[in-house]
Amino acid sequence: MGGHEKSTDPGLSAAERKSLRSREAEEAIAEHESAQKAFHEKRERLREERLRREEAAGPMLYPAPELPDDTPVENVRFATRIRNALNAAGMKTIGEVRETSDDRLLSLPDLGSGSIAYLRETLGLPSTDGVRPLGKKPA
């Protein structure tokens, strides 16, 4: 037997096919184990990089009325669309968001009245222009 036969080649004896199948299986298992090891090493490396980034950036916080005004927007768990709109507008802190009028927020791309109502409610401020969450009745 040479090195290039396959277990499906005609003309091989049953013993040769069995030997080739065994070797093919061992090669496939070794290849799979190697790929699994590389996958797990890469996943662990990416996890460690993410943990280092998160540690350097500070903890991620949920939006709440208790957040200090100097809290960076990037450290608050807003929806990606809301975070991107605030970043594009140059708003860096929660205080800046709280001080911005509803008209200004409504002028930002991708922010509608629902997003503004969400920001106002979660950051503990009444709407400055009467925008309120759905289902809420005015007092």
Model pTM score: 0.54
pLDDT above 70 for 54: yes
23-35 pLDDT tens trace: 999 999 999 999 9
Residue 129 has pLDDT above 80, yes or no: no
In a domain? residue 129: yes
pLDDT of residue 81: 93
Reported as a pLDDT band with limits 50, 70 and 90, residue 4 is: low
> 59 vs 33, 65, 96, 106, CA distance in Å?
36, 17, 20, 29
C-alpha triplet 130, 135, 139: angle, nearest 5°: 50
- Domain carrying residue 17: 12-57
Residue 2 resides in a domain: no
Within-domain flag for 6:
no
Q: Which of 37, 57, 77 is the last residue of a domain?
A: 57
Are 19 and 63 found together in one domain?
no
Mean per-residue pLDDT, 105-114? 90
Q: Directed axis angle between helix 80-88 and helix 113-122, to 10°?
A: 90
Q: Name the domain count of the chain.
A: 2
